[in-house]
Amino acid sequence: MSEREVEHNVVMVGVDGSPASRLALRWAVRQAEAVSGRVVAVLAWQEPTGFGLGVTVPPGVQWGEEARVSLHSTVASALGERVPVPIEQRVVEGHPAEVLLSQSKDADLLVVGSRGLGGFVGTLLGSVSRHVVSHASCPVVVIPDKT
């Protein structure tokens, strides 16, 4: 896309199927609708590694396909049938924070949910949300899990 063709009002949202990411997805859709924009829903995945942990990974699992199905299912269940804005769904292999940073370089806004699973009791941001807030090239909105 050339500089003149840069798309505006792109609201990117990280989706991992958690309640916080479902809230973030709904918030992103409302924001995109308010600015006549579109949503890009991104699910990052990594092949599980169990080196030294005694974890057995079943053979033949297509992790990328599993992630794609998970994203489509999450979007459908979180938003229902009537979605007021276009939604692009992207499944990208890699660490969630790095994937969201690279995918959001041309976004106008990045929305993530926070489960608050950081290393300290009482922390408000999880590790992924904390990382993207610190390093994103666009504004970031963090939607907390209300459960």
Mean pLDDT by 10 residues, the chain (147 residues): 64 95 97 97 86 63 90 96 95 96 97 69 65 96 84
Spatial distance between the Cα atoms of 101 and 104, rounded to a whole number of angstroms: 5
Query: Domain 3-35+61-144 classified CATH 3.30.2020.30?
Result: no
Tokens standing for residue 41: 């829903």
Enclosing H/E stretch for 56: none
Check residue 119 and give its pLDDT: 45
Output the pTM of the full model: 0.84
Check residue 145 and give its pLDDT: 80
Strand order, beta sheet including 38-45: 87-93, 38-45, 10-14, 109-114, 140-144
Query: How many other CB atoms are found less than 10 A from the CB of residue 107?
Result: 23
Spatial distance between the Cα atoms of 78 and 25, rounded to a whole number of angstroms: 8
Query: How many other CB atoms are found less than 10 A from the CB of residue 3?
Result: 5
> 3-class DSSP state for residue 81?
coil
